[in-house]
Structures are given as C-alpha cells and as structure tokens.
Amino acid sequence: MTAHLIDSLATTDALAAVFSDSFLLQSMLDFEAALARVEARLGVIPSRAADAISAAAVADGLDAAAIARAARESGTPAIALVQALVARVHAADPESARFVHWGATSQDVVDTAFILALGRAHQILAADHARLTGSLRQLSDRYAGTIMLGRTLLQAAPPVTFGLKLAGWFAALKRGWRRVHDAFGESEVLQFGGAVGTLAALGPNGVPVHRGLAEELGLKAEPSWHTHRDRFAVVITNCGLYTGGLGKIARDLSLLMQDEVGELVEKGGGSSSMPHKRNPVASAIALAAETRMPGLVAAFLTGMVQEHERAVGGWHAEWPTLSAAIQCTGAALAALADVVDDDVLTVDTDRMRANIEETHGVIFAERAMMLLVPSLGKEVASQLVTDAVQHTRATGQPFAAVLGSMPEIARVIPQAELQNIDDPEAYLGAAEALRVQMLA
Amino acid sequence: MTAHLIDSLATTDALAAVFSDSFLLQSMLDFEAALARVEARLGVIPSRAADAISAAAVADGLDAAAIARAARESGTPAIALVQALVARVHAADPESARFVHWGATSQDVVDTAFILALGRAHQILAADHARLTGSLRQLSDRYAGTIMLGRTLLQAAPPVTFGLKLAGWFAALKRGWRRVHDAFGESEVLQFGGAVGTLAALGPNGVPVHRGLAEELGLKAEPSWHTHRDRFAVVITNCGLYTGGLGKIARDLSLLMQDEVGELVEKGGGSSSMPHKRNPVASAIALAAETRMPGLVAAFLTGMVQEHERAVGGWHAEWPTLSAAIQCTGAALAALADVVDDDVLTVDTDRMRANIEETHGVIFAERAMMLLVPSLGKEVASQLVTDAVQHTRATGQPFAAVLGSMPEIARVIPQAELQNIDDPEAYLGAAEALRVQMLA
Amino acid sequence: MTAHLIDSLATTDALAAVFSDSFLLQSMLDFEAALARVEARLGVIPSRAADAISAAAVADGLDAAAIARAARESGTPAIALVQALVARVHAADPESARFVHWGATSQDVVDTAFILALGRAHQILAADHARLTGSLRQLSDRYAGTIMLGRTLLQAAPPVTFGLKLAGWFAALKRGWRRVHDAFGESEVLQFGGAVGTLAALGPNGVPVHRGLAEELGLKAEPSWHTHRDRFAVVITNCGLYTGGLGKIARDLSLLMQDEVGELVEKGGGSSSMPHKRNPVASAIALAAETRMPGLVAAFLTGMVQEHERAVGGWHAEWPTLSAAIQCTGAALAALADVVDDDVLTVDTDRMRANIEETHGVIFAERAMMLLVPSLGKEVASQLVTDAVQHTRATGQPFAAVLGSMPEIARVIPQAELQNIDDPEAYLGAAEALRVQMLA
Amino acid sequence: MTAHLIDSLATTDALAAVFSDSFLLQSMLDFEAALARVEARLGVIPSRAADAISAAAVADGLDAAAIARAARESGTPAIALVQALVARVHAADPESARFVHWGATSQDVVDTAFILALGRAHQILAADHARLTGSLRQLSDRYAGTIMLGRTLLQAAPPVTFGLKLAGWFAALKRGWRRVHDAFGESEVLQFGGAVGTLAALGPNGVPVHRGLAEELGLKAEPSWHTHRDRFAVVITNCGLYTGGLGKIARDLSLLMQDEVGELVEKGGGSSSMPHKRNPVASAIALAAETRMPGLVAAFLTGMVQEHERAVGGWHAEWPTLSAAIQCTGAALAALADVVDDDVLTVDTDRMRANIEETHGVIFAERAMMLLVPSLGKEVASQLVTDAVQHTRATGQPFAAVLGSMPEIARVIPQAELQNIDDPEAYLGAAEALRVQMLA
C-alpha cells in the first residue's frame, strides 16, 4: 500500500509508489550495482565483485523500517543500506563484499537515488499534463463562441468567451510545464564526488568512473555539486509555479460551480450528511496542493544554505520536502485532469448567457464610456453612465433602454448603436484572435 | 511499521504511530462510538444501536488503503469510513446501522479525530521536553563556572560561561513549551456542528448531544468552529517557535563541534566513507526540522482563509501539514534530548579555556575601552585600543602586555588593573546571577 | 510622508509612521537618553553627561539616509546613530560625549528601539480591533434572525443566520486578538546585555543599570535574550493567525459581494475603465495582507536560528520582516474596520432569502434524510432523496412537493412535517444559542 | 532619499531608486504616454491629444503620497494617477484630456509599469553579478593550488582546494544567473488587455494598438495574462534560487572567518562596543536576504491563485512582495561583490594549511580504508583505522606514524605509501580538473 490516510488527498497512487520505501531502496541499490559494474569494467574492482553486488542489489527482503531507524542514528539511510548490501554480498561471496560502495560516499547514493525517483515522477506528471492540456485545448475549441461574464475582483465585467478562459488556463499550464520539464532535465545529473567532491578515494580512476557511472545510469556527468542544490531547487520552484496555475484553474472552477453561478459542474463528490451536494472535490484537492506548495518551496529554498562540502540540516530537510511537493503537484494535476474533460465536466451555456442577462447590461458601462467620452469628456460621461447604472439597478430596466431614454446620451450615440450596446457578441474585442494565439 | 524511509529523519516512531492509518481510523471510530453512546443516553437513538456501533468501532480489519483512495473521490476519508462502519454494524444488526454517524457531518469526524491525535502527540512531546530541559538545567548547574568564548557574528567576543549559554537555551525552550502546551490546550475542543454548524439535524437534541459528546471525549464544548482554524493554527505556530529554539541550540552545538572549535561532541554519527567522522547527527536532524517548519507554518496560515461554512482546499491542506509539523518538532526534540545529556555529551572545558587564550586577550578590547574612555575620550581610546589589537594580532604578544607597554595607556589604567585585564573570570559581569534567573 | 506607492495597500498612515526613519531614530535616541539618565542616577556616569545626552537625543536634524547607508557598512544602524549622537553631545559638551552609549552594545539599542515601536503599533492595532469587533457584535445582534444560505465547499447547504456568521467572525477575531495582545505583552522586555549579554562592561553596576533602564522605559527587566528571538516571533506568528481570521472574513465578504450572490456590498471602489463596478477593495487589501503574512511569518521563524551570542543574518533579517508583517496586519484590519460597519455595509436581506428560495428546497435533503433513515435505512432513504433532488433540479418543482408526491416518502413522513420541510426558520437548530455563546 | 532605516540592510541605493515613488510614477506615465502616441499614430485618438499627454507625463510635481492614499480607496494607484494626469492635460488642453488612458484598464498601467521597473532592476543585478562572478573566477584561478580542509557536516574531511570551493560558488551562481536572466526575459511582456483582456473597448483597433504599444515600450506582445502571473513568479522564484546560492557563499565565508578557523577575512565591520571585531557584515546582509527570500517567494506563489479576469487580493499582494525580493537579492549580491574581491578579501593560506595539520592526519582515514579494505575486508579495516584515529586523537601523534606502527597495517600498505598518506597534495583527486570544468 502506498497511499496513507493522512496524505490521501495529497498524492496519487503512482507518485506515492515513487517515493515508497521499495522504490527508494531499489534506486539506492541500482546506484550501487551500476557503480560496481562500471568499476569492474574499468578494472577498479574485480568483475566477480560486480556480479555479486549486482545480484544482491534487490530491494526485496530488505528491512526498510530498520534502515529508516538506523538513519536517525547516522543521519542518512545510506550507511545501513550499504551495510545490508555488504551483508548480503558477504553471504554469497565474502571477498566481493569488500568492493561494495567502492569510492563512494553516502551523499552520492542518496542524491542519485533521489534523482532516479525524480525521473520516474517526471514521466508520471508528463502523462497527466498531456491529458489535462489536451482536454483544455479541446474544450477551448468547443466553447470558442460560448459567451460568459468576465469577472474582475469577483464583480461582473464585460463578457469573455469560455473558450478564451480555457485557452488562458491552457497557455499558463503550457508555459509552466515547459519550465517543469526543463527543470527535471536539469536535475538529471549524477551526484558522484566521494567524501568531499574530489573523487580522491578513486585516485586516477575518479574521472573515468564518474563518466562511466553517469552513462550507466542515463544521467549527465558534471562535477560534484554536493552543497549546491539548485538542480533540485529548480524542480520544486517550477512545480510551485505550475501548481499556481492549477490552483488558479481550481479557484475559477469552484467559483463557477457555486449554485448562484451554476455555470459548471465537476463530476462532484458527495457529502456524508447532504445527499444534494455536488462538491468540487477536484478543485479542493488542487487548492489544497496550492495551499501547501509555497511553504514547501520556501522550505527547500531555506535549506539551500549548505555548509562547505556537506550540510548540517539543509541537506537532511530535502527528502520530505521535495517528495511532498511533487506529490502535491501530481495530486492537483491528476484531480483536475480527471474532471476537466469533455466527458466529465458539465458546462451550462444557458446559465452563462443568463448570468450576463441578469446584469441588465450594466457591464457595458465601459462601452458607453468609450462612446460618450470623445464628445462629452470624462467627467460628464462618467456622471451620466453612473446615473444610468443606478437607474438600471434600481428598476431592473435594461441599461441600453435607460441610456436611450437619457437625452444627453441619445444626442451623442446613434440609436442603432445604443440598441446594440448590450449585445455581448458585439463586445468581445479580439477574444477569438487571442484565444487562437494562446492555443498556438 | 510507522517510519518511512523518505521521512526517516523527520519523525519518531512514537509520533509516526500517532498519525498512522490505524490511529487515525481508530480516532474516527472513537468519535462515532462516543456519539452513538451519548445519543443513546439522551434517547436520540436506540441503546441497542449504540451498543452495536461501539462494538463495531474497531479499526482492526478496516481497509485503510481503500478508504484513502475513496477520500480522493469524495474529498474526505469520513464518508468511506462511515460506510465501512455502517456495513459492519449492518452485518451484526441491520436496524442499528441506521444510527451510525447520526446528525454528524464529515468535518465533525475528521476534525475531532485529529484533535484526539493531537492530544496523544502532546503527551509524547511533553515527555521529551521534560527530558531535554531537565538535562539542560543539570548541565547548566554543572558548568556554571566553566568559562568559554562569547561569540558575536561568529567572532570572538568577551567571555561567557557554558552554564549561561545552557541556561539561555533552557529559558527559551521553557517559554516556548509553555506556549506549545497552552496551544495544545486550546485545541482540545470538540468539533461538532452538523452540516453547517447549527446542529439543525438533531433539532432540540443538538445542544445536549454536543455537550455530552464533548464530555464523553474529554474535550471542551464550544460552538462549532468549522472554518475558523485558529485552534489548530496556534498549535503549529507555537511548534514553529519552539522548533526555532531547538534549531538555535542545534546550530550552536554543531558550531561548537567543529574540529577547529572542539568544545563539544555530540555522541556523533559515522560516515559511510570516513571512519574518523563524529557527525553532529542530532543537530542535523534538528536543523532539518527547523528548515522545514517555517514553510509548514506558512502553509497552515495560508489555509486559514476558509470559505463560508466549509472550505474548498484550505481545510483539505491541513492534515499533511499539521502532522508533518508535529513530527518535525518531535524529531528535533527527541534527537536533541538524546544527546544533550550529561551522560552523552562530551564537554571539553580545557578547549574552551584554550580558545579564549588563542585570542591573546583581544576580546577584552571592550574592557580596555571602558577604562580608557572616561579619561581619553572615545576617539583617542578607540585609536589606542585598535593599535594594541593590531599589534597583538601581528605579534601574538598578549593584549594586556601590549597595552601595558603603551605609555598613553599605562598612564591611565593602574598597572594592577592592566595585568588583570585579560582575566576572563574578572570579566563575567552578571553572568551567574543571570544564569540563576534564567533557570528560575 | 510615510506611505509609499509600492506599499500603498500594505500599510496605514499611522503604522507607516511607527516604522518611519524618524520614529526609529527617536526610539534609539530615547534608549540612549534613558540609559544615560539611569547611569547618572546610579553614579555610573556624571549627571552633566546625562543632561547633555538627553538634550541631544532628538531625531530632528539627523541624516537618516546617511545612517541607513552606514548601516550597510557596519551591519547595524546603531553605530552611525551613536556616532551622530556623540558628535552632537561633543559639540555641546566634549566631556559628556564620552558617556554616550555607556556599557551598551548595538543590539541593545536596536532591539529596544524596535520594542518601543512595537508598543506604539500595539496601541494602533488595538483601536482598530475594538472598532471592528464592536461593529461585528452590533451587526450580529442586528442580523440575529436574518436567514441566509449556509455554504459548504461553496455549495448551497442548510441555512444559517447572518448573525451567526458575523458572530463566528467576531469570536475568531476575539480569540486572535487575545493572543496578539498577550504577544505584544511578552515583547515588552528590555534588551540590555552589553557585548555578550553578561553586562560585564558595567561591572557591579550591570544589574542595577539593567533594572533601572527597564523601569525608565516602562519595560520588563529580564536577562538578555540576544539570540533567543521568541519574544518577537510570538508577535509575528500571532499577527499571522489574526490576519488569517481577517482573511477569512474578507474571502466571505468578497464572495457574498459577487453579483450572482448579491447579499452584501462593501462601500466598494471604482474602476479606471468600468463605472459600474463596486469593487471589494477592503477585501482585496485584507486578502493581500493574508497572502503575504504566511511568508513573512516563515521568514521570521527561519531567522530564529541565531548563532551563539549574536547572529550572522538571522538578526539582520528581522526589521523588514516584522515591520512589514505588522503593517500588513494593520492594513487589513483598518480596511475591514472601515467597511464592516453598520453605516457602511449594505446588507440585502431579501437577496439572502431569495438565494435560499432559488435552491427550491434541495438544501433540506439532509433534513429529509433524518426523517427517513430511522424507518427506511440509509440506503433506501438516500436513493429516494437523491431521486427527489434530481427531480427538483430537472423541473424546478419545490423539493417539499416532490417529496410529498413520492408515496414511499409520504408513507413515512407526516404530511405536516413534509410541507414544512423547506422552511428555513424551522431548520436553524441551535444557531441563535450558539451565536449568543460566540458573542459572550 | 531612497534607502530607509528599516530596510537599510535589505536594499541598495540603486534598487531602492527603482521601486521609489518617482520611478514607479514615471513608469506608469511612460505607459500612458506610449499608449497615446501609438493610438494617435493609428488614428484612434487625435495626434494633438498624444502630444498633450506625452508632454504632461512627467512624474515631477505629482503628489505621490496622495496617490498612495487614494490607492487604499480604489485598490490601485492607477486611478488617482490617471486622474492626476487627466487634470494636468486638461489644464493644458481640455479636449485632449478625454483621451488619457484610452481603452486601457488599471491593471494594464500597473503591471506594465512594474515590468519597466523590473527591466531596470535586471540591469542593476546583471552588473553586480558580473562583478561577483568575475572576482570568483579570478580568485579561483589564483587559489587553484591552495589546499584547505574539506568539511562535511562541519567536521574536518579530506582536503579540497580553495580554488575548487570558489569554482563551486562560481558555477552555482552562473547556473542561477542564467535562470534569473531568462526569467527577466520572460517578464518583458506588455500587459494590455483592457477591462477583461479582450481589448473590446478599442474594437478593431485593439490588436494593432496592442502590437504597437509593445513595440513602443520595447516589450513583447502576447495576449493579456491578467490573472496568470507566472511571468512575474518566475522572476521571484529564480531570484530565490540565486539568493540561495549567495546565502551558501555567505555561510561558508562567515564560517571561514571564525577566529578559530581564521582562513578568511571579509573587509569586516566594526562593533559599537568591541574595537577588536571584524564582523562578517557582507555575509550577514546576504544571509539576512536568504532568510527572507523563501517567505517572499512563498507569498508570491500563494498569490498566484487569481480569480477569473482580475483577482481579489492575490494581485494586490504582488508589488510589496516582488519589490522586496528583488531588493533582497540585490542587497545580498552587492554586499558579496564588495567583499569577494581580490583587493578586499584577506585569504590566510598558511592558516588553511595549519588547520589541516591540526587534524594530525585523521582526515585521511578514508584513504587508509581504501588501501586496507581490499586485503582485510571492511570490518577489520574499519576497526584498525578507528583504533588509529583514536590513538592519534589521544596522543597527538601523526596518523601516518600511528598507522605505520600498527603491524596489521604495515603488513598491507607499503611503507612509502604509508609515510605519504597524510600528504594533502597527494589526495586531491580530480579537484583541479573539476575546478576547470566548473569555470568553463
């Protein structure tokens, strides 16, 4: 089991598996096995040792809880893991056990194992990102001409199209994902430096082993970056940005799902006491993730102050922080991808239209201003429009009609234009052109 | 198993157990059982139902993973948990199943279960706090007269006593714990309000059930606080403050453990590659916790903006955040309590003295100033003292001797006082009085 | 001028004044003058020096920008401030200049000046808190019987009263303020310890000067707490909690102000392009504050790890962080106090009622469940109620009527009760009792 | 004056100027003037109006404090700024006043003005970055062969070179700056969308004005991104990462400046009470910045959840947060660039060597292990080396000699190698090759 109750809304099964004991243990063992193979190939250790180590490097059967507990004594799970591996190899071939972890240091194992986990997480996120943005593009095209209220500071404003709103969500996620993707790419760098980053324990073999190990693990070979953690930091900050984009979508979704707005319904979740509820559960999961992410990003940035060649604390804070952040991101992404889907999301285009009509046209006050100001000046125009808005609000009479009944206004705006002033289709500006540009 | 590899440095076994699936499930079930008992006692539901519900309310055998997965569909683990309980009760007594969760809402169960977990965590932290502050007091008394360098901005400064430093640590933790303790006290309030906090589903029985349930669970009865989360927030912020105090101790410890300083040794942890290392593992754990806590606190505060009568997201972010924070705090506390202990901590009082001597007395420049300024004025005195400091630094000659050799100085400061100027015992001011006050 | 454009929404004039150059300079000078007076009284320095120092300790005419610039060279504004004061005193009476800052260290001045500023900020916040909670209480009483939708996860839920919602806001702020108030009280402690906290420079006079200075400044006398910053931290964390309460109010306000909800109008702000807008400006200011506060709190907590007897960095991060946080809090508080006021806030009680009616009664699904389950069991009842909800949604027929038309239901619920099932007044539970309790 | 006391360590004069009232007002006016010019060119407004508006668009003489105060009423400084501009233009040419701000909305002005400020900040940071990394490269070359202790978890470890450490700092900043630079590039996008982002007020002129305005201001033209704030967020997160790199340097610097280590001296700052102090002031400023940055980043990310077409709060939180973050970054950068400079930094290479010698060779325990394990196995080797380390520590006898005196060891390691085992030059591994690679 990978999902725990306390984190149930904060991960997905797939991502929980990536940061599970077994995946992390196996990643550490993969490092050790690859190191042995490369060292054997270069003649640094006997081939037989590499074989024995590779054979023993299987997470199954290791006591993860014991290793976790030992980590609290030594400050890292690597020492107990290496001991367990040594014991296993020793049981099969005592001589070979000498060459386990040859020339490496704890941080080499721990960091590289984490990088391997990040690589897997990258794939999982990528699939859900493709799913969500695919749906957004499809929905944006479908609702390209569907008019809805624009809303600024949660107040009714001139109209937009639902397609434009969806394209805005799409474009932000697309920009965000490019950054996330690049950041994961930046993190695909082997950590291998030995005790202090000089590879001194391997003598002249240091550089070749370093290069070979990177290749063996499919990672880039760059000088050890022990206490320079920007390659991890750039992953978490960009997940933070991306989740910001998801959170914005979720906020909009949940606002549009309000009964009083009624323009959208996520699939909806139930309630233990109220059978009528259609709760925005995906939005809640995404907003919960976005609530947590900034603090997780902050924690990671704080930990970047790492002393000399290995930190006291900053390094030790990374695993829980970065793993929680990636699971947060993935939980939000999967939740939204599940509901922002043409087959799942209910879009009430009538209600969208009706909500515009409910304003009786006052949202076109700006339009009236644009027509009046050139002739009347800002002050006079603003006073007249404000009067008209108030009259509409008091009486429910259409704004266009009220304007038409005001002689100072009728004098300035041609009657045809006046009658048309509250036609939302006629006040969409460049919405469609911008939408197309956003999807490009 | 409660400790996971990814969190191995970020919790303790005892605290991991508190936030485990089984503890949380049992706490939720304890709520349901207590509710049924109270409702039966008040005649709201049949006694038989209460008996059946109580009997069934045992976490053992429930499928926590399934409940966690279901939580992602409905936004809360409560619904699936209640269903599981209903099924169990139904199997034993179908009629009784009708009265499971009677008049309650998901948030009532989830929040109250968490409060019960907090109560348990409170006890665990209290024990470790008592252990650590007990040791600090004992060590402070023992090293009351042990002189060491004061250090400001990491530069050598006039002397303090190790006892005073320990007393400062003690006093900060004592103040911090009082706040943590009070905060846990503030959180011991039943959450019970039904769908929107009015207890409407229970009609006239609402208030009596509320009062009875609080009593049954040993919690305070206060009006439902659904979307006012300050009672949880005050726990996490005060854990944050307290961990700040722990982090300060850990920073000091790790600095004093540097080979170049050499005044302290924690028990020390090993290294996978360097047998000579005595790593400050407890400090690393505590500093890792302190690295993470501010972000966790920030996340919780962000989530306090909870909409109307139940939030979208803010509420859903709380469990992982608050549980991580309390485990962080406890991990730091336990790690320090394990090493800041008279039997474990190695204190090198000779090295403390030697480090003072290494400064050749320049740390008493302030003292010289106090003696010279009244006669010579600040400018002249400062110039003379700076010259003396530079001479000492260049030659290694004792500062007192250098001062004595400067006629402008010898003219002003009596010879006896001059010879004595670098006696640390004579320049401790009120250190002991303040130490005693701090321990009071 | 105290308010700057970049911070215009993030402070008030009164609070900007507290953290202005002139206030801070004067506070530092007040410390120096008080120190001199106390030392003269105790015979530590000449009376004449105290007179000269007191006379010179006036911020007017000091070059704050030069002191700010000098601070970047020495790491603290205190050194340049002391030099400026020395120069002034020297001009009037050269001998007296020797006794400026006698026995103190930079941190003594800087911290104590900040504490004096906090004391003034406390008063300003207290006045606005009293104003806001006074209004909340008054409004809660006035709208005690005004029924509105409860809303959970932004979905319509059983009714509450507006009075209850206001009382919930009130109670949270009241709890929050008690904590803020106590925290400011905890911060009213003199910082005075000399170079390393031992008061050594003052020899036997250390303790009496310490005690006298505390009294002179109206602060508590406690042992120097140089690197233990919890007394400041508790102020910022509790401001964070309190602002969380303000943010919750602002979120609710802005949601209730949506045109589609239309239950409230803040006084409203305009728009540069849309004359019809009534923007929730106070809510925006409060939510902006709440957006920033968690990060400011996190920054302060991070800075608590302060090395030995004076920190490198942690201490230096405090002024901008704590001052921004208090101004944030005050800006949010003043903005809400300005609009949550019986004379300013527009409450549309008809719209509140209408929004309930718009649900056609489905929000009483829970009530129907409570009536049906005892006879029919959860499963059957839930199916029937769900059918009724769907029928109501599809047809707009009242939920009560739909239920009444379903024979399985009519059989179980007495007709009188059925007709009454969507009467919100009859489903308020303990709302009024709880409201009264919250205001107590 | 641009630097304020409260922020004196948190900015530079140059950056304070960028976020000053006058710069921001002028940037807003530059937007308005450019808009008018472009609209005149396209025939949207009269040329005469553009001339009058351009002529009036000068910040000098505007009442910034009044605009700041008005911002609190309307939620934005733009409205009062536009009114002030209208009044000025009106005084010169009433007709032209009608065309001020034509077709724009407040957010267009405010965001674009901020983007212009960011552009200026970018230049300032770039210059200091070049200065600092130039010095780091020069120093790294100079100290390429200077051997110093590696230190892991603040414990002595095998040697590195000072050149390698400097190259590590360099490489991290170089990676960090590329990201910062790219992020500023991403932010150079015009904000122009009118009320809701559709440019509707300008009708068919919307797109051409948008394109022309971008060109006029030297910004990219992309569809309005009102509530998608990732282009700002990527600036602050990458400043956060970069400051993390600066903080790491500052931590290392301040640790190396400890009297007990004594390997470096920043220029040093004084103390108000202790003339002997050489405080790490630049490190303190940089670490203060790094203490604050994570919280500022978190605040910005939190604010990314922006509602619909303009946010309530999230948007309003940006100015103080982003401006503080950039000033923080710049303050840290300038402070370090001032001291990490071949003419300023004092490097004590003798002390570096001496600190290695002080360990009596135990830091070469790893080396001994590498030599012993192949013959003896891990367990035996580890026991022997641990014995040797303890003997060295107890007696002060050189580690090499102790090893040589142990027959089990002498049997395995050739005498020549044994004598050489504590030669740091012989245990640098690939340090120089890696250093060169880092500087590439």
Sign of CA pseudo-dihedral C118, C121, C123, C126: negative
The answer to whether residues A204 and A237 touch, using CB atoms and an 8 Å cutoff, is: no
How many Å lie between the alpha carbon of A155 and the closest alpha carbon of chain C? 6
Q: Which residue of C has its CA nearest to B233?
A: C241
The answer to whether residues D393 and A158 touch, using CB atoms and an 8 Å cutoff, is: no
Give CA–CA dist A297/C150, Å, rounded: 35
Give CA–CA dist D195/D214, Å, rounded: 18
Which active-site residues of B does the annotation give? 271, 310
In C219-298, beta strands by DSSP E: 264-265
When CB atoms are compared, the residue of B260, B358, B362 closest to D276 is: B362
Do the strands B264-265 and B346-347 form a parallel or antiparallel pair, or are they unpaired? antiparallel
The mean per-residue pLDDT over the stretch B182-205 comes to: 97
B81 token code pair:
């948990």
Interface of B with D in 230-259 (CB under 8 A): 254-255, 257-259
The mean per-residue pLDDT over the stretch C344-357 comes to: 97
Q: Which pLDDT value is given to residue D1? A: 46
Per the prediction, chain A carries an average pLDDT of: 95
Cβ within 8 Å, pair A168-D367: no
When CB atoms are compared, the residue of D73, D313, D323 closest to C269 is: D73
Interface of A with B in 175-194 (CB under 8 A): 194
The mean per-residue pLDDT over the stretch A236-259 comes to: 98
Q: Which pLDDT value is given to residue C1? A: 46
Which residue from D51, A299, D93, A435 is spatially nearest to B287, judged by alpha carbons?
A299
**DSSP-based three-state secondary structure for D298:** helix
Q: Which pLDDT value is given to residue C278? A: 85
Going by pLDDT thresholds of 50, 70 and 90, the confidence category of residue B267 is confident
**pLDDT higher than 90, residue C274:** no
Looking at the complex, does the CB of residue D319 fall below 8 Å from at least one CB of chain C? yes
Cβ within 8 Å, pair C244-B305: yes
Determine the distance from the C-alpha atom of residue D427 to the mean position of all C-alpha atoms in its chain, rounded to a whole number.
Answer: 34
What is the count of residue pairs from A and C with beta carbons less than 8 Å apart? 117
The set of residues, in sequence order, having a beta carbon less than 8 Å from that of B433 and lying 6+ positions away, is: C207
Cross-strand bridge partners of residue B269: B279
When CB atoms are compared, the residue of C154, C276, C362 closest to A258 is: C154
Going by pLDDT thresholds of 50, 70 and 90, the confidence category of residue A277 is confident
Q: How many CB atoms lie within 10 A of CB B417?
A: 14
Do the strands B155-161 and B147-152 form a parallel or antiparallel pair, or are they unpaired? antiparallel
Q: Which of C148, C149, C151, C154 to mutate to test the interface with A (most CBs of A within 10 A)?
A: C154
The share of chain B scoring above pLDDT 70, in percent, equals: 98
Q: How many CB atoms lie within 10 A of CB D335?
A: 29
Place of tokens 């505590």: B286
Which residues of chain B make contact with C158, given a CB cutoff of 8 A?
195-196, 198, 200
When CB atoms are compared, the residue of A222, A298, A311 closest to D297 is: A298
How many Å lie between the alpha carbon of B304 and the closest alpha carbon of chain C? 5
Going by pLDDT thresholds of 50, 70 and 90, the confidence category of residue A1 is very low
Which residue from B56, B62, B58 is spatially nearest to B92, judged by alpha carbons?
B56
Looking at the complex, does the CB of residue D269 fall below 8 Å from at least one CB of chain C? yes
Q: How many CB atoms lie within 10 A of CB C307?
A: 23
Which residues of chain C make contact with B93, given a CB cutoff of 8 A?
none
Which residues of chain B make contact with C299, given a CB cutoff of 8 A?
294
A271 is catalytic: yes
Q: What is the pLDDT of residues B109-160, one digit of tens each?
A: 999 999 999 999 999 999 999 999 999 999 999 999 999 999 999 999 999 9
A176-186 burial, b at 16+ Cβ within 10 Å, e below that, comes to bbebbbebbeb
Give CA–CA dist D203/D43, Å, rounded: 13
D171 token code pair:
């490489």
- What are the per-10-residue average pLDDT scores of chain D (440 residues)? 82 96 98 98 98 97 95 94 97 96 96 98 98 98 98 97 98 98 98 96 97 98 94 98 98 98 83 73 98 98 98 97 98 98 96 97 95 93 94 95 94 89 96 97
Q: Which of D148, D151, D153, D370 to mutate to test the interface with B (most CBs of B within 10 A)?
A: D153
How many Å lie between the alpha carbon of C308 and the closest alpha carbon of chain A? 16
The CA-atom distances, in angstroms, between B432 and each of B439, C260, C295 are 11, 68, 39
Q: Which of D110, D239, D273 to mutate to test the interface with C (most CBs of C within 10 A)?
A: D273
Cβ within 8 Å, pair C358-A154: no
Q: What is the pLDDT of residues B291-337, one digit of tens each?
A: 999 999 999 999 999 999 999 999 999 999 999 999 999 999 999 99
Cβ within 8 Å, pair B297-C298: yes
Q: Which pLDDT value is given to residue B1? A: 46
How many Å lie between the alpha carbon of D16 and the closest alpha carbon of chain C? 11
Q: Which residue of A has its CA nearest to D152?
A: A310
Interface of A with D in 282-311 (CB under 8 A): 287, 290-291, 293-295, 297-302, 304-311
Q: What is the pLDDT of residues C57-103, one digit of tens each?
A: 999 999 999 999 999 999 999 999 999 999 999 999 999 999 999 99
**pLDDT higher than 80, residue B272:** no
Q: Which pLDDT value is given to residue A175? A: 98
When CB atoms are compared, the residue of B98, B302, B427 closest to C373 is: B98
Looking at the complex, does the CB of residue C67 fall below 8 Å from at least one CB of chain D? yes
- Rounded to two decimals, the pTM is 0.98
The set of residues, in sequence order, having a beta carbon less than 8 Å from that of B179 and lying 6+ positions away, is: B238, B241, B242, C230, C234
Q: Which pLDDT value is given to residue B268? A: 59
The answer to whether residues D291 and D298 touch, using CB atoms and an 8 Å cutoff, is: no
Going by pLDDT thresholds of 50, 70 and 90, the confidence category of residue A45 is very high
Give CA–CA dist A233/D230, Å, rounded: 17
Q: Which residue of B has its CA nearest to D252?
A: B154
Looking at the complex, does the CB of residue D280 fall below 8 Å from at least one CB of chain A? no
The answer to whether residues A192 and A210 touch, using CB atoms and an 8 Å cutoff, is: yes
Looking at the complex, does the CB of residue B117 fall below 8 Å from at least one CB of chain A? no
The mean per-residue pLDDT over the stretch C3-28 comes to: 95
Which residues of chain B make contact with C373, given a CB cutoff of 8 A?
98
Give CA–CA dist C224/C201, Å, rounded: 14
Which residue from D146, A366, B102, D388 is spatially nearest to C272, judged by alpha carbons?
A366
The mean per-residue pLDDT over the stretch A108-119 comes to: 98
Looking at the complex, does the CB of residue D373 fall below 8 Å from at least one CB of chain A? yes
**pLDDT higher than 80, residue A60:** yes
Q: For residue B310, which phi and psi values (nearest 5 degrees)?
A: -165, 135
**pLDDT higher than 70, residue B273:** no
Q: Which of D274, D351, D392 to mutate to test the interface with B (most CBs of B within 10 A)?
A: D274
Q: Which of D304, D376, D422, D435 to mutate to test the interface with A (most CBs of A within 10 A)?
A: D304
Q: Is C101 left (phi over 0), alpha (psi -120 to 50) or beta?
A: left
When CB atoms are compared, the residue of B94, B301, B312 closest to C297 is: B301
Q: Which residue of D has its CA nearest to B274?
A: D366
Give CA–CA dist C367/A274, Å, rounded: 9
Which residues of chain A make contact with B298, given a CB cutoff of 8 A?
294-295, 298
CA dihedral of residues D286, D290, D295, D300 (deg, nearest 10): 80
Neighbours of chain A (3+ CB pairs under 8 A): B, C, D
**DSSP-based three-state secondary structure for A270:** coil
Cβ within 8 Å, pair C230-B252: no
DSSP D186: H
Q: What is the pLDDT of residues A174-204, one digit of tens each?
A: 999 999 999 999 999 999 999 999 999 999 9
In B232-353, beta strands by DSSP E: 264-265, 346-347
DSSP A380: H
Looking at the complex, does the CB of residue D261 fall below 8 Å from at least one CB of chain A? no
Per the prediction, chain B carries an average pLDDT of: 95
The mean per-residue pLDDT over the stretch A104-121 comes to: 97
Give CA–CA dist D272/B378, Å, rounded: 11
Determine the distance from the C-alpha atom of residue D395 to the mean position of all C-alpha atoms in its chain, rounded to a whole number.
Answer: 47
Which residues of chain D make contact with C21, given a CB cutoff of 8 A?
4-6
When CB atoms are compared, the residue of B207, B244, B310 closest to C304 is: B244
Q: What is the pLDDT of residues B332-382, one digit of tens each?
A: 999 999 999 999 999 999 999 999 999 999 999 999 999 999 999 999 999
DSSP D93: -
The answer to whether residues D412 and D377 touch, using CB atoms and an 8 Å cutoff, is: no
Looking at the complex, does the CB of residue C317 fall below 8 Å from at least one CB of chain D? yes
Cross-strand bridge partners of residue A88: none
Q: Which residue of B has its CA nearest to A269?
A: B74
Which residues of chain D make contact with A201, given a CB cutoff of 8 A?
366-367, 370, 429
Cβ-in-10-Å burial (0-12, 13-18, 19+) of B25 comes to buried
Cβ within 8 Å, pair A304-D437: no
A310 is catalytic: yes
The share of chain B scoring above pLDDT 90, in percent, equals: 94
In D8-164, beta strands by DSSP E: 147-152, 155-161
